[in-house]
């Protein structure tokens, strides 16, 4: 009977703890980090904004150079292209940084605590678990005999389950 109870207790503990550990597998954390990074950065939006600002700056620079309409168009095209590349790359770097931080946070998260129900004192389950914990447990009094200290036995103590 003791072996069956111990086996069931171990199987139950493993079953309860396996759910907590599954939250930290690499696929779960990859999906979490990807969703987080995508919601906080957009390389496409960075490219569009960078391109628009670059084109505006290029048109202004072409106007300052003063070579006519062709200079404004060339400045706008060159500025827009450069701005799109820089803006897109900047947002991609931001996205990768956010992804790395979220992935590391997810993988290094401690597992959720596992709580075990403690049977009421004096119940058959409580007596059984106390007898497993303390070899000198007396179910009639609910106490156990601590080990001797200096050859003297201390008084019996009440069983306390965690």
pLDDT digits (tens, 9 = 90+) for 58-82: 778 777 877 777 777 887 788 778 8
Burial per residue of 100-113, b for 16 or more beta-carbon CB atoms within 10 angstroms, e otherwise: eebbeebeeeeeee
pTM for the model stands at 0.47
Predicted confidence at residue 3, as pLDDT, reads 54
For the purposes of burial, counting CB atoms within 10 Å of the CB of 99, is it exposed (0-12), middle (13-18) or buried (19 or more)?
A: buried
Question: Taking residues 10-26, what's their average pLDDT?
Answer: 51
What are the respective helix, strand and coil percentages of the chain, to the nearest 5? 65, 5, 30
CA-wise closest residue to 39 among 90, 91, 85: 91
Q: Tell which wins on pLDDT, 68 or 125.
A: 125
Q: Which two tokens stand for residue 66?
A: 């003063």
pLDDT digits (tens, 9 = 90+) for 19-64: 444 446 889 899 999 999 888 877 677 778 777 887 787 778 777 8
Q: Where are the domains of the chain?
A: 22-107, 124-158
């Amino acid at each position: 009977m003791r072996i069956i109870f111990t086996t069931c207790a171990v199987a139950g503990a493993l079953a309860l703890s396996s759910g907590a550990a599954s939250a930290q597998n690499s696929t779960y954390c990859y999906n979490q980090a990807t969703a987080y990074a995508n919601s906080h950065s957009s390389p496409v939006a960075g490219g569009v904004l960078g391109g628009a600002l670059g084109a505006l700056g290029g048109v202004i620079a072409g106007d300052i150079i003063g070579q006519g309409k062709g200079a404004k168009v060339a400045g706008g095209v060159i500025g827009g292209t450069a701005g799109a590349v820089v803006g897109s790359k900047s947002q991609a770097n931001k996205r990768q940084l956010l992804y790395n931080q979220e992935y590391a946070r997810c993988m290094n998260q401690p597992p959720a605590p596992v709580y075990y129900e403690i049977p009421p004192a004096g119940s058959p389950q409580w007596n059984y678990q106390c007898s497993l914990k303390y070899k000198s447990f007396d179910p009639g009094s609910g106490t156990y005999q601590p080990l001797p200290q200096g050859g003297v036995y201390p008084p019996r103590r009440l069983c306390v389950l965690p």
